[in-house]
Amino acid sequence: MDKVFPETVNYSIQVKFRSLLEMTKPKVVLLILLTALVGMFLAPVVDRSWLRIWLSLVGIGCLAGAGAAFNHILDQEIDKAMCRTHQRPLPQGKVNSLHAVLFAGLLTIFGFTLLYTLINPLTAWLTGASLLGYAFVYTLYLKRATSQNIVIGGLAGATPPLLGWTSMTGSIHPYPLLLVMIIFAWTPPHFWALAVHRVSDYRKASLPMLPVTHGLPFTKQFIFLYTIILAAVCLLPYLVGMSGELYLVTAIVLNTISVKRAWQLKHDDTHQLAMPYFYFSIVYLLILFVALLIDHALLL
């Protein structure tokens, strides 16, 4: 009988740990936490505790990671059929479904309990609702039922600034809802650009993404339309006095570039500009929220 060496066992554990971590979509979670952090620092709190900030980020991050893991679990059959996702841990057999469910469940319990007991119940329930909205309402139903899946389901992923605000104040205010509106408007063109590039994947998986149900030209028109809507929504923080000139200038520059890219994509018959738009939209959101954070610090 072959001996099981400690090195082999350790390697197996490391592979499983990395695979479980990959299921939480760490890069996406980091972007979520950045937008939550902006909500925390914009909240009208005189004395912010760094411990409270870190505990809030850990709780929100755990539930966001759990939502991503549940998404992997529920979509594993679809992932097998798509070139973009067939290398994920579950389709590759690096993690079995039972371990994945236990991992996602533990993250959910830990994150919710932390927020409920050490932060406040409002943040815990709102974060839990976001997890349910993304992992189950969007993944199980909307994604498979309607071409407007990402529009309706996008609300679940737009809540982090509100969660950051409530973690500091324990209450809801119109200001963080403006930031929710920005991410809500940003989400459809961001994912539609990816869907344009991967339309054959979504068609193979029988998912009713907009390019599959309405065609590529129609989708690119909607990307341009939503980019215009996003540019208008981004002006609201400045117009209501929530931010200053630094944010305004940054938003104008970013939206000028974004609208130009959406216009070019709309008239690109090769569809090769879809992924550059997709990647720029990530940088767009990152810079926009960092500018909002810096702008707020300068106004203090």
* DSSP 8-state class, residue 142: I
137 in Cβ contact with 199 (< 8 Å): no
Which pLDDT score is estimated for 42?
Answer: 94
CA gap 211, 195 in Å, rounded: 7
Query: The domain at 20-172 falls in which architecture?
Result: Orthogonal Bundle (1.10)
Tell me the pLDDT of the chain (300 aa) as tens digits. Answer: 455 555 554 556 677 888 999 999 999 999 999 999 999 999 998 778 999 999 999 999 999 999 999 999 999 989 888 888 888 999 998 889 999 999 999 999 999 999 999 999 999 999 999 999 998 899 888 888 999 899 988 888 899 999 999 999 999 999 999 999 999 999 999 999 999 999 998 998 889 999 999 999 999 999 999 999 999 999 999 999 999 999 999 999 999 999 999 999 999 988 899 999 999 999 999 999 999 999 988 876
Phi, psi of 162 (to 5 degrees): -65, -40
- DSSP for 216-227, written as a single string: HHHHHHHHHHHH
Does the 173-300 domain belong in CATH 1.20.120?
Answer: yes
Q: Which amino acid is at 166?
A: T
Global pTM reads 0.91
Give ∠ CA 211-35-280 in degrees, rounded to 5.
Answer: 45
Domain boundaries, the chain: 20-172, 173-300
Angle between helix 6-23 and helix 50-74 axes, rounded to 10 deg:
90
SS3 101: helix
CA distance 178 to 247: 14
Residues 230 and 120: their CA atoms lie apart, in Å, by 32
CA atoms within 13 A on the CB side of 102: 5
- For residue 4, CA distances in Å to 11, 13, 16, 191, 220 come to 12, 13, 17, 45, 55
205 contact partners, CB below 8 Å, separation of at least 6? 78, 81, 82
The pLDDT assigned to 1 comes to: 45
Q: How many CA atoms lie within 13 A of 72 on its CB side?
A: 32
DSSP 118: I
Which residues have CB under 8 Å from 91's CB, separation 6+? 76, 79, 80, 85
Running DSSP on this structure, what letter comes out for residue 215? -
Look at the chain and count its residues.
300
Instruction: Give the ranges where the chain is alpha helix by DSSP (H).
Output: 6-23, 26-42, 50-74, 76-81, 89-92, 97-114, 121-132, 143-145, 149-157, 160-169, 174-197, 199-204, 210-214, 216-233, 236-239, 245-266, 274-299
In angstroms, what CA-CA distances link 136 with 25, 144, 153, 201, 297?
A: 17, 11, 10, 22, 38
